[in-house]
Amino acid sequence: MGLYLIESSLQGIVSTKKELNQKASDLQVALTETNSALIELQVSKDFSRSFFIIEAEDRNEATNTLRNADIPVQLIKEVRLVGKDLEDVKKDKDVVNYLVEWNIPENITMEQYLERKKKNSVHYQEVPEVAFSRTYVCEDMTKCLCFYDAPDVAAVKRAREAVQTPIDSITEILTENN
């Protein structure tokens, strides 16, 4: 089984949290029929960006299930979870409200990335108002998605500066509270 990031837009497909939760529930049922699972779904506040993490035998299984649910697939990448155990993510106890995307430079290997992350992660303690949760790194080393719980965008930027890692974009994630 592999982990796949599938990026999409749910704008025009759902417009409320209730509709989003129903769509995610329906998708989970459909994925279960193919021995796959929706690990998590993070969506921007305006539904224009959505990030599905799906565990499946292969990328076609994952994308076909989304397409059958009338969810457009804009990007699919095999990913590796870093910073948290998959079983903990499945329990869905973490609150995250910001997603940072970083397009990894071509010359960085997975080993270099992981070593750098290990070395720099201790600096998160310099920004205690920000809680780093987890990262999904594309296996092809094109980009990574980092999830945070933070009071605002400025705090996320301070955390990224502390760990000396760039930001290509920040997305505020829809939570139960907003």
pLDDT of residue 135: 94
- Of 30, 45, 79, the last residue of a domain is 79
> Is 89 domain-assigned?
no
Q: Which residues of 75-111 are buried (b: 16+ CB within 10 A; e: fewer)?
A: ebbbbebbbeeeeebeeeeeebbbbbbbebeeeeeee
Helix (H) or strand (E) holding 126: none
Same domain, 75 and 29: yes
- The CATH number linked to 48 is 3.30.70.100
> Is 35 domain-assigned?
yes
- Of 25, 49, 79, the last residue of a domain is 79
Same domain, 110 and 70: no
Give every residue of the chain whose pLDDT is below 50, as ranges.
Answer: none
Contact (CB, 8 A) for 3 and 81: yes
What percent helix, strand, coil does the chain show, rounded to 5? 35, 35, 35
Contact (CB, 8 A) for 5 and 41: no
pLDDT of residue 159: 95
> Is 177 domain-assigned?
no
> Is 93 domain-assigned?
no
> Is 84 domain-assigned?
no
pLDDT of residue 178: 61
- The CATH number linked to 134 is 3.30.70.3090
- Of 20, 49, 79, the last residue of a domain is 79
Query: How many Å apart are CA 123 and CA 10, to the nearest integer?
Result: 35
Same domain, 9 and 75: yes
> Is 46 domain-assigned?
yes
> Is 91 domain-assigned?
no
Query: How many Å apart are CA 89 and CA 76, to the nearest integer?
Result: 20
Q: Provide the domain count of the chain.
A: 2
Same domain, 10 and 73: yes
Map tokens 């759902």 to a residue. 14
Q: What is the DSSP letter of 33?
A: T
Same domain, 74 and 8: yes
> Is 86 domain-assigned?
no
Containing domain of residue 117, as a range? 98-172
Helix (H, G, I), strand (E, B) or coil at 6: strand
What tokens appear for 68 in the block?
């059958």
Query: How many Å apart are CA 166 and CA 112, to the nearest integer?
Result: 16
C-alpha angle with apex 123: 118 to 126, nearest 5 degrees?
160
